[in-house]
A and B are shown apart, each in its own frame.
Chain A
Amino acid sequence: MSDMTELNEPVEDGHLVRDEVRRISKSVHARRVATSRLMMVLCAVALLVAAVPLVMLIAELVKNGLPQLNKAFFTTEPQTPTLIAPNAAGGVSNAIVGSLALTVYASVLAIPLGILVGVYLAESESKLASILRVIAQTMAGAPSILMGLFAFSFIVHDLNIGFSALAGSFALAVLMMPVIIIATEIAVRNVPNSLREAGLALGARNHKVSLRIVLPTALSGIVTGTILAISRAVGETAPVLLVIGGGFINQWRPLDPVSSLPLSIFENAKSQWPAQRLQVWGAALVLVAFVFVLSLTARIWATRKQQVRN
């Protein structure tokens, strides 16, 4: 009986637990406010520290790059300065044409294949699918120079095609593919099953459900992933370094050597001529602007995706 009384006491007292919670909550309130402010300050400081190198980089890039940008920079092929004309470095049109060609060829190789494999991984439960998934994930993290080595030994050497845009775009395609595969798989998996069922319940066959419902719904995710893969490929130096051969002329034929913006930067940065070293900044600015536009496009697609979801 005494036990019962003890148990009952707090209840008769009012609300022991509730009172205690309120007391503690009051006593720690001031400390919580102070901690919260301190954390905010720390976050702000961290943000500043992180932003400083980024801002410096962009400022340096614009400061040195912008004066380089004129019509001749985009439209003329490079030339080697001489003692008589030390500032005659020409333009980088060869690198722009080469980069565009490489990107287009790599996209043609990687995008259809990557999307199909991604859809397969999302829809199949087979052993092959899980093996492919592991390979794609490993490849996504592989150092990009590896793709260059592979393209060199396979395309340039074994197939005896030589230094060429094809070899470079092959290396870039191998680099892009895992990114596209993974993005596609995620996008297709994210399509709610209820939409597939809705299609089936209307008498649609499986391939129609895939083509008319699943792919369009997943499209924004696939496009976002693909654009990110392209923007990564555009800026890559290592994979193309070993295989595209370079050269000063504007050319886009797949079997001949080409230049590219990253390669031109790599070569010119080592130049003894200040004019060529300055040109590097212009090329870098063009490259960054291109990647920026691509990422922005990807972002816009991603927001579109969310609107569809909501």
Chain B
Amino acid sequence: MADIQSKTATTESISRGPIAMQLRDVAVSFHGRTAVRDCTFDIAKNQVTSLIGPSGSGKTTLLRALNRLHDLTPGAKVTGQILLDGVDIYRGNVTVTELRTRVGMVFQRPNPFPTMSIYDNAVSGLRFNGIKKKSLLDEAAESSLRSAALWDSVSSRLKVSASNLSGGEQQRLCIARALALDPEVLLMDEPTSALDPVATLRIEELMTSLKSRVTVVIVTHNMQQAARISDDCAFLLMGEDRAGELIEFDTTEKIFNNPVDSRTLDYTLGRFG
């Protein structure tokens, strides 16, 4: 308990606006082996929160806990509390499918459905959830593709297979696909690590412009990226027992310029990791 308080001490000082998600002493283990623990922080609404840290620090594991993607992994266990709008997503009155429509996800490698057209990809989430009305689908396709800055380049070829798009376009299509469900939170797992610098820049611009309509949580290996685009930043590090843990959470500005923990400073200065 004392541990939790010491961690929340930093978070309380920066809780400025409304909160989208709250993490309370979250830990994830696989077959009894802890992969990440001690994660207590708040994800501010309509802000970009980045999770940074070296490989093995549990960033992706933590991110995947936020929309219960570990549910299908045998032996995976999530403890602590993750609250979405004040409701515990693991034990509260929310189904896993509903949760995933409210908390969308964009993966490391672009993964559009190869057998579907651009249009079908964009509206796939809506169709999976039983929406059939053509006018609604059309509208959602256009607005989500516009939000993902893809509409102008694909509006004339919506029926073309999504595999014909470039890597950067495919990733923006995956963002559009997630946005079509109008989620409250968008999780992004190193969304630009498979892209070239130009495509990366476009995705980064996109994230900033999306802030007004969705809360973004992004895992990134790229510290410049975290510094450029995120408002808040969580720094994780692998502990001595090889389990990742939260070292520090604060505004990005503070994490990069004036962190409390010396390990945070070492990492952001590129002294290790």
B100, B114, B116, B163: the one within 8 Å of A203 (CB): B100
A201 part of interface (Cβ distance < 8 Å): yes
Chain A, 121-144, CB within 8 A of any chain B CB? none
Contact partners of B115 in chain A: CB under 8 A:
213, 216-217, 219, 308
A202 part of interface (Cβ distance < 8 Å): yes
Contact segment of A2-10, A149-157, A189-197, A287-295: A189-197
A58 part of interface (Cβ distance < 8 Å): no
Task: Establish whether residues B69 and A197, one from each chain, have CB atoms under 8 Å apart when the complex forms.
Answer: yes
A192–B163 Cα distance when bound, in Å, is 14
B69, B115, B124, B161: residue with the most chain A Cβ atoms closer than 10 Å: B115
A208 part of interface (Cβ distance < 8 Å): yes
> What would be 26 A-B contacts, judged by CB atoms less than 8 Å apart?
A192-B111, A194-B109, A195-B114, A197-B107, A197-B111, A198-B107, A198-B174, A198-B177, A199-B128, A200-B69, A201-B67, A201-B69, A202-B125, A202-B129, A202-B181, A203-B97, A203-B99, A204-B97, A204-B125, A204-B129, A213-B115, A216-B113, A217-B113, A217-B114, A307-B163, A308-B115
B168 part of interface (Cβ distance < 8 Å): no
Chain A count of residues within 8 A CB distance of the other chain:
22
In the assembled complex, the CB of A255 is this many whole angstroms from the nearest CB of chain B, namely 41
Nearest first, the 8 A-B pairs at minimum CB distance are A202-B125, A204-B128, A201-B105, A203-B101, A203-B100, A216-B115, A194-B111, A203-B97
B67, B104, B105, B128: the one within 8 Å of A208 (CB): B128
B100, B111, B181: the one within 8 Å of A195 (CB): B111
A29 part of interface (Cβ distance < 8 Å): no
A217–B174 Cα distance when bound, in Å, is 17
Contact with B along A46-90 (1 / 0, CB 8 A): 000000000000000000000000000000000000000000000
Residue of B nearest to A206 (CB): B72
B98 part of interface (Cβ distance < 8 Å): yes
Supposing A197-B69, A308-B114 touch, asked if A202 and B128 sit within 8 A by C-beta, the answer is yes
Supposing A202-B104, A202-B125, A203-B97 touch, asked if A213 and B113 sit within 8 A by C-beta, the answer is yes
A37 part of interface (Cβ distance < 8 Å): no
B111, B161, B174: residue with the most chain A Cβ atoms closer than 10 Å: B111
Contact partners of B67 in chain A: CB under 8 A:
201
Supposing A195-B113, A213-B113 touch, asked if A200 and B72 sit within 8 A by C-beta, the answer is yes
Chain A, 191-240, CB within 8 A of any chain B CB? 192, 194-195, 197-205, 208, 212-213, 216-217, 219
